[in-house]
Structure 1
Amino acid sequence: MSIEITLMVLLAAMLNAGWNTLIKVSGDRIAVMAVVTLLGSFVSALALPFIDMPDPASWPLLALAILLHTGYHFVLPVAYNYGDLGQVYPIARGSAPLLVTLGAAFFAGEVLSVIPFFGVAFLAVGVMALAFDQRTGLSQNPRAVLFALGTGASIAAYTLVDGLGARQAGSVMGFAVCLTIGDGLLTFLVASTWKAKAIKQVVRTNLTPAVLAGGMQVGAYWIAIWALAHAPLGMVSALRETSVLFAALISTFILKEGFGVWRFVSAGLIACGIGLTRYKP
């Protein structure tokens, strides 16, 4: 993976941590997610005059990606109802890269060599190590772990479909823009069927953070889809999950969710993983 793609994916990781934190702290999380994704779809709509539409051959994958992203938008806030950001986020994001790597080998024929594979493994283990923090440990909330693992599976599924669809679309940005418009609208429509009052409350009281989160979410997805179209799926997925380091800092210094030695262990493993994924034989 080139240094340019590496840096862009790290930027996406920062944006991802930011919008996930806003989902965590801004009230009814499903309602917030609905508003955030709708605002993100408005941002994406502004880009329509400047992009080429994806090739019709990619439309089935685009439709599947929209459904998978929409499902993720509901699984994630539910998981946050049962666990802290410092627990749910590392497990969800850390379990996804290994699943993506296996899926990429099966569906895209992308078999990593030994050293980059160990880089992905180090990144995944380093990410999940954050969940062993003393105050957010695995043993304290098994239900949160189950929801987090379910979220990780949904992340892996949409990452694979995103990457394969973007490669088939001809226009990577066209695929990304249509995806973020579609999943934003669908998420809002589904949520509004039973969260209408909560959505109105979010608009009245938390519109500013929702706007910020919507912009960060769209930016993170656009960058990630662009990277998935140009680099191995498993490596992009693993590097993107370094967002947990940023989330760990946020959960420690802003949300006051505690700090432990596992965060130092995690940082070391992630640093080793990044180095190994950059290996060129």
Structure 2
Amino acid sequence: MTDWLISIEGTGTGSRVALVLALMAAFLHAVFGALQKGRHDPWLSRGAIDASYCVMAAPFALFVVPWPEPHMWPIFAGVWVIHVGYKLLQAQAYTKGAYTVVYPVVRGTGPLFTVLGAYLIFAETFTLVQWLGVVVLMAGIFGLALYNMIFLETERETLNAALGLAVITGLFVALYTTFDAYGIRATANPFTFLAWFFMIDGFLFPILAYRRWRAMPDRPAPGPLMARGVVGGIVAFASFGAIMMATRLDKVGEAAILRETSTVFAAVIGWLVLKETVGPRRVALMTLIALGAVIVEFGG
């Protein structure tokens, strides 16, 4: 598998595989966000998820994949710092804002910053048609966030803080997307990067979540919380792993844009699972998001 993936990097086959991986990551990332924002406190949910994928990744990192090359340790340190900042901001944003408002703003700001970062770091460029697709996609995403904001029934008093946190979180999405792409391209075996990433990345948040849980006057039962964490850990492997591999096989900017169709999946999940309102205007905006992604993919 490793040899085949390396052999298709930068080829037409690699581009098609990257497309499938990015769309899979989009759906699973929306599921992941719903798991964190769902019935449990977002901090506790994230702690349970991180603990699960840390434990699951450790045997692969230590005993299965080749060990990282010496130059990878500073890269892993940078990855860890960026992802910790991202998760702290995201948890705080989810604490203060509704899922269907916060999530689109995060995902809308992320791709623009990522495209700019991919240009500066990897010298990737977009055609005018692809930039049109970026504009269409972002118009749909921010339109969806605005629509949700107008008809928001709860958490309105903390809306401004949630939106500010969501924009900053979007910047960190771009940081981790471009830096992770740099990291997974810097090692000979991409699965080495993935295994060590999940083991290292999952270390801190369980400690923070446990301290938060201990301080709660009405603590949730740990059993259902950890069950959610195991499911979330598996989803994280597939979601984050897929998008990282897509950025190794093909352009970072295009993969990032395609992943933001997760906003469409998030709106559907918010309606079906979280019982948040969905109407024809939101369906139209979700269609706009999907159209923007299609223009970016086929406008190159």
Q: So what's the TM-score if we normalise by structure 1?
A: 0.90
Cα distance, 1:11 vs structure 2: 1.0
Distance 1:262 1:180, change over 3 A: farther
Match status 1:27 vs 2:40: yes
Work out which of the residue numbers 157, 164, 170 in structure 2 matches 1:146: 164
Give the secondary-structure state (helix, strand or coil) at the position aligned to 2:125. coil
Match status 1:135 vs 2:152: yes
Check the 8 A contact 1:135/1:257 in 2, yes or no. Answer: no
Work out which of the residue numbers 154, 157, 164 in structure 1 matches 2:175: 157
Match status 1:234 vs 2:258: no
Match status 1:86 vs 2:119: no
* Matched length: 281
Match status 1:102 vs 2:136: no
- Once the two structures are superposed, residues 104-130 of structure 1 have per-residue CA deviations (whole angstroms, 9 ceiling, x without a partner) of 111221122222232233223322322
Mapping of residues 1-281 of structure 1, within 5 Å: 2-48=15-61, 49-133=63-147, 134-135=151-152, 141-196=159-214, 201=220, 203-279=222-298
The worse-fitting range, judged by mean Cα deviation, of 132-141 and 12-21 is 132-141
Check the 8 A contact 1:31/1:202 in 2, yes or no. Answer: no
- Once the two structures are superposed, residues 196-219 of structure 1 have per-residue CA deviations (whole angstroms, 9 ceiling, x without a partner) of 456x84523422222111110122
Cα distance, 1:139 vs structure 2: 8.4
Q: Which residue of 1 aligns with 2:6?
A: none
Cα distance, 1:245 vs structure 2: 1.0
Structure 1 residue ranges without an equivalent (≥5) = none
Letter in 1 for 2:140: G
Give the secondary-structure state (helix, strand or coil) at the position aligned to 1:52. coil
Kindly report the root-mean-square deviation, in angstroms, between the aligned alpha carbons of the 2 structures: 2.5
Q: Report the Cα distance in structure 2 between the residues aligned to 1:59 and 1:145, rounded to whole angstroms.
A: 34
Give the secondary-structure state (helix, strand or coil) at the position aligned to 2:202. helix
Cα distance, 1:92 vs structure 2: 0.3
Give the secondary-structure state (helix, strand or coil) at the position aligned to 1:258. coil
**Fraction of identical pairs, as percent:** 27
- Runs of 4+ in structure 1 off by over 6 angstroms are 136-140
Letter in 1 for 2:227: T
Letter in 2 for 1:3: R
Distance 1:280 1:273, change over 3 A: closer
